[in-house]
Chain A
């Protein structure tokens, strides 16, 4: 982003000092900084992870977007690229990782599997899209998305970051929607603690029938 983009409209700069100063809003400079240094979580699930590695390698070079520092620890990362099929066995770990990420945090669902289950959707160990458990910001279709398609998705994440405002962003509000997501349990099948009532009701219905 150059200085013209940073310069927020609405303030006239006297011609004699134009080119020497820039006026911007706090939102803009803050989001500019954030969007240019998104640190993804080094977190590969399946086939798409290989394309993610290729994106980070020399031909596509994530470093050009300020994203080269892939952190293996969720505590140090801003963006979770869910790259591949999300299985039930992996789901508790993914939710735990998401809970451990500091806010503001973003999730990019890379590929068909992470977006909606993908070709393996019908399988007994597959979660139909990671958005059933954690909120997803950007969906990138493809199986797998090519590195350029992933970069396109990452630019969408940046676009989203730039459109946010400190005033009304949910990260900075007091409120309940930032509560941790309850971690699913591996029982006879995957148990989502948020659906306990539904499960109990269904069991009752089955008993009656």
Chain B
């Protein structure tokens, strides 16, 4: 090169310097609003992000998008007396589709007849095998198993979940995935309507 030796380094350092000043400029233009506010966190993840990029977990948390998936959970409807009516019918599709085979389901049987009834007696997920792929939730025909948003699960022991630990109310599901829940509720209502409509015509 014919250029002065060191010109490239200086050019690079000017970029660093620019970014150094941007830190203060951005702090000034967002004064008081940049940290610990939703708008501030959104700003740091937007196209205009410049300056300090850090989101200070645990005080600030990056909001998780609706589709985010972590460990699966089972959805239940709360009955009038506080009983938990799982949507799960123990059809076993999730156990069949699970790629690492980390789901174990015990189907209940009617003690009188010995016939299977559509309710899981037990439901295990070994979270130390689960790969968070979301196929169980995607292919569940009853919208009974869903992927959770809660990622703060670190513990001093291994993670094997049973039915009691996995069950979460419908309200919780609707709060973490509002759009999906609305869509699924509408589809279920339409299905129900379609099923009842011909019987009325009869």
Nearest residue, chain A, Cβ from B54: A61
Nearest residue, chain B, Cβ from A147: B57
Segment from A3-11, A19-27, A151-159 that makes contact with B: A151-159
Complex: A156 Cα to B156 Cα, angstroms? 8
Interface size class on chain B is 20 to 34
Does B26 have its Cβ within 8 Å of any Cβ on chain A?
no
Complex: A121 Cα to B57 Cα, angstroms? 32
Q: Contact: B54 with A141, CB < 8 Å?
A: no
Complex: A147 Cα to B58 Cα, angstroms? 11
Nearest residue, chain B, Cβ from A151: B57
Does A116 have its Cβ within 8 Å of any Cβ on chain B?
yes
Q: Contact: B155 with A60, CB < 8 Å?
A: no
Q: For B52, what are the chain A residues with a Cβ–Cβ distance below 8 Å? A: 58
- Across the interface, A139 reaches (CB within 8 A) one of B62, B132, B159, namely B159
Query: Which A residues, 34 to 63, have Cβ-Cβ distances below 8 Å to chain B?
Result: 58-61
Nearest residue, chain B, Cβ from A110: B154
Q: For B129, what are the chain A residues with a Cβ–Cβ distance below 8 Å? A: 112, 116-119, 121
Does A148 have its Cβ within 8 Å of any Cβ on chain B?
yes
Complex: A116 Cα to B127 Cα, angstroms? 9
Does A129 have its Cβ within 8 Å of any Cβ on chain B?
yes
Complex: A112 Cα to B55 Cα, angstroms? 25
Q: Contact: B156 with A60, CB < 8 Å?
A: no
How many Cβ-Cβ contacts under 8 Å join chain A to chain B? Answer: 99
| Mask: chain B, 93-104; 1 = CB below 8 Å from A; 0 = not | 000000110100
Q: Contact: B131 with A141, CB < 8 Å?
A: no
Q: For A147, what are the chain B residues with a Cβ–Cβ distance below 8 Å? A: 57
Does A69 have its Cβ within 8 Å of any Cβ on chain B?
no
| Mask: chain A, 130-157; 1 = CB below 8 Å from B; 0 = not | 0000000111111101111101110110
Q: Given A151-B58, A152-B58: A143 and B132 within 8 A (CB)?
A: yes
Does B70 have its Cβ within 8 Å of any Cβ on chain A?
yes
Does A99 have its Cβ within 8 Å of any Cβ on chain B?
no
Does A115 have its Cβ within 8 Å of any Cβ on chain B?
yes
Q: Contact: A142 with B70, CB < 8 Å?
A: yes
Nearest residue, chain A, Cβ from B151: A149
Q: For A112, what are the chain B residues with a Cβ–Cβ distance below 8 Å? A: 127-131
Q: Contact: B151 with A116, CB < 8 Å?
A: no
Does B188 have its Cβ within 8 Å of any Cβ on chain A?
no
Does A64 have its Cβ within 8 Å of any Cβ on chain B?
yes
Q: For A75, what are the chain B residues with a Cβ–Cβ distance below 8 Å? A: none
Q: For B130, what are the chain A residues with a Cβ–Cβ distance below 8 Å? A: 112, 119, 141, 143
Does B61 have its Cβ within 8 Å of any Cβ on chain A?
yes
Q: Contact: A138 with B155, CB < 8 Å?
A: yes
Does A160 have its Cβ within 8 Å of any Cβ on chain B?
yes
Q: For B54, what are the chain A residues with a Cβ–Cβ distance below 8 Å? A: 58-61, 64
| Mask: chain B, 109-152; 1 = CB below 8 Å from A; 0 = not | 00000000000000000111111100000000000000000011
Q: Contact: B57 with A60, CB < 8 Å?
A: yes
Q: Contact: A118 with B155, CB < 8 Å?
A: no
Q: A61-B54, A119-B99 are in contact. List 11 more A-B contacts (CB 8 A).
A: A60-B55, A64-B56, A118-B100, A121-B129, A139-B157, A139-B159, A141-B128, A141-B154, A142-B132, A148-B152, A156-B154
What 8 pairs between A and B have smallest CB-CB spacing?
Answer: A116-B128, A153-B154, A119-B100, A119-B131, A149-B151, A115-B128, A143-B131, A61-B54
Q: Would you mind naming 20 contact pairs between A and B with Cβ atoms under 8 Å apart?
A: A58-B52, A116-B158, A117-B128, A118-B100, A119-B99, A139-B154, A139-B157, A140-B153, A141-B130, A143-B130, A148-B57, A148-B62, A149-B154, A152-B57, A152-B58, A152-B151, A152-B154, A153-B154, A156-B155, A156-B156
